[in-house]
C-alpha cells in the first residue's frame, strides 16, 4: 500500500458510505466486470489527509 492510498478501515468507510455504488454514476458494484477503486477528490498536498472524507468510490481510477 502506498502512502497516498487509504488504509483498509478508510476503504471500508468509503464503501459503506457509497453503499457499494459508484459515487459518480451510481452503478452498482455487484454488476461491474472489475472491482471499483477509491479515488482522491481533494489533493493530499492541500492539507490534512482524511481518506474517508476525501475519497470516493468509483468505477475507474484515472
Question: Is 20 a member of any domain?
Answer: yes
Q: How far apart are CA 26 and CA 49, in angstroms?
A: 25
Average pLDDT over residues 19-34: 87
- Give the tens place of pLDDT for each residue, 32-55: 888 888 887 766 676 666 666 778
H or E stretch covering 57: strand 55-58
pLDDT for the residue 1: 44
Question: Is 3 a member of any domain?
Answer: no
Question: Is 12 a member of any domain?
Answer: yes
Q: How far apart are CA 10 and CA 40, in angstroms?
A: 12
> Domain range for residue 20?
8-58
Question: Is 1 a member of any domain?
Answer: no
* Tally of domains in the chain: 1
Amino acid at each position: 500500500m502506498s502512502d497516498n492510498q487509504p488504509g483498509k478501515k478508510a476503504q471500508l468507510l468509503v464503501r459503506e458510505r457509497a453503499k457499494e455504488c459508484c459515487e459518480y454514476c451510481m452503478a452498482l458494484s455487484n454488476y461491474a466486470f472489475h472491482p471499483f477503486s477509491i479515488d482522491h477528490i481533494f489533493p493530499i498536498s492541500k492539507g490534512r489527509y482524511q481518506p474517508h472524507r476525501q475519497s470516493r468510490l468509483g468505477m475507474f481510477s484515472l
